[in-house]
């Protein structure tokens, strides 16, 4: 904890020496607080100290920040600067009057950080952890607010059984920017987990999600429109799970099925039954020919390529699509190889 405190002190050392003014942290604190207040204008959040109203105000403030151009980053940065300044002058009476206000600003910042590009763990930078604990008031945000679903008053759903009722609740939320935040977090998490080893579906849904969010970020479509797109995408996730179940395929087999069916003409010609049988064989053949780090050994790769080609010919896979299919199936096998290597060890 002492080291963390010294890290923050050193971060401000240059400012203090340059200005040579003992009150510099307090002045910076006031300046940055005003910036944060301006970003929340025209919201009236004066009742933030009332626990019964704090959560609703958090949701409204989050929606406002998300709406602003580059609002997430700008707000997170300014509140981080507020935290650093307060850590240096928090014992001064002039600074202590801002304690509850800073706690509320930190409560807004926390769910903006979680899941963002903050280092991957969804937490604030480590050198401010002690300051956050000092600032967060139990009366305001008992234990701290890090979950955007909690702020929105919704239980985070299991995406694999994402219900129409939950999607309808999100669609009806009056805070549309917050609704977009909820949906995009769910879908990003799903792409990273369910489709982590499915080359075709991971690429497909990642591109769909990126396209929708890019249009939203560029304000070329309204929040309500992107909500509709994200809900449609969530339903496609569910349909994909139902498809695998109806075909009787394991996740590994489904990934090879998707690689084979990636070409629509091949899917139309061969049908689900044949492609399913092929995918089951493909899920087994590379595993049987597994050796340590096989994906980096050209002789093993060549043997697997020949095995895949032979299987495609046996099932009469369209010859004009064979080369692309072999390449994609091989990439899919390499993607699964880490799990296979662990099993084989």
Q: What is the pLDDT of residue 153?
A: 78
Rounded average pLDDT over 234-245 = 90
% of the chain residues with pLDDT over 90: 43
CB 282 within 8 A of CB 311: yes
pTM: 0.72
Quick check: 216 and 223 in contact, CB under 8 A? yes
List, in order, residues 6 or more apart from 164 with CB less than 8 Å away: none
> Which tens digit of pLDDT belongs to each residue from 284-311?
876 665 554 555 677 777 888 888 999 9
Residues 40-63 pLDDT 10s:
999 999 998 887 888 889 999 999
**Alpha-carbon distance 182 to 226, whole Å?**
12
Query: What is residue 123's predicted lDDT score, i.e. its pLDDT?
Result: 38
More confident residue, 335 or 132: 335
Q: Which whole number is the average pLDDT over 316-322? A: 89
pLDDT one-digit tens code per residue, 9-29: 444 444 443 444 445 788 899
Could you report the per-residue pLDDT of 65-101, keeping only the tens digit for each? 999 999 999 999 999 999 999 888 867 888 888 988 9
């Amino acid at each position: 904890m002492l080291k963390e405190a010294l890290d923050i002190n050193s971060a401000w050392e240059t400012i203090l020496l340059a200005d040579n003014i003992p009150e510099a942290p307090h002045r910076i604190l006031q300046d940055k607080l005003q910036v944060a207040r301006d970003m929340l204008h025209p919201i009236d959040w004066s009742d933030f100290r009332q626990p019964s109203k704090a959560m609703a105000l958090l949701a409204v403030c989050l929606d406002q920040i998300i709406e602003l151009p580059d609002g997430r980053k700008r707000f997170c940065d300014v509140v981080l600067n507020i935290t650093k300044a307060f850590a240096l002058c928090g014992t001064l009476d002039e600074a202590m009057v801002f304690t509850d206000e800073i706690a509320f600003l930190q409560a807004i910042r926390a769910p903006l950080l979680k899941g963002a590009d903050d280092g991957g763990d969804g937490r604030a930078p480590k050198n401010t952890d002690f300051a956050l604990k000092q600032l967060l008031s139990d009366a305001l945000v008992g234990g701290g607010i890090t979950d955007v679903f909690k702020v929105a008053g919704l239980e985070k759903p299991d995406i694999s059984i994402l219900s129409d009722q939950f999607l309808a609740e999100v669609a009806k939320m009056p805070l549309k920017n917050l609704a977009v935040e909820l949906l995009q977090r769910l879908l990003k998490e799903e792409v990273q987990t369910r489709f982590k080893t499915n080359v075709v579906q991971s690429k497909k849904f990642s591109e769909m999600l990126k396209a929708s969010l890019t249009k939203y970020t560029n304000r070329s479509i309204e929040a309500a429109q992107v909500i509709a797109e994200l809900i449609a995408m969530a339903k496609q996730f569910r349909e994909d799970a139902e498809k695998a179940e109806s075909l009787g395929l394991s996740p590994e087999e489904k990934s090879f099925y998707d690689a084979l069916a990636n070409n629509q003409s091949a899917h139309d010609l061969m049908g689900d039954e044949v492609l399913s049988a092929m995918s089951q064989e493909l899920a087994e053949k590379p595993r049987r020919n597994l050796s340590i780090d096989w994906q980096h050994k050209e002789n093993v790769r060549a043997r697997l390529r020949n095995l895949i080609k032979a299987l495609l010919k046996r099932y009469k896979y369209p010859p004009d699509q064979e080369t692309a299919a072999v390449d994609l199936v091989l990439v899919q096998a390499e993607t699964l190889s880490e799990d296979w290597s662990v099993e084989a060890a």
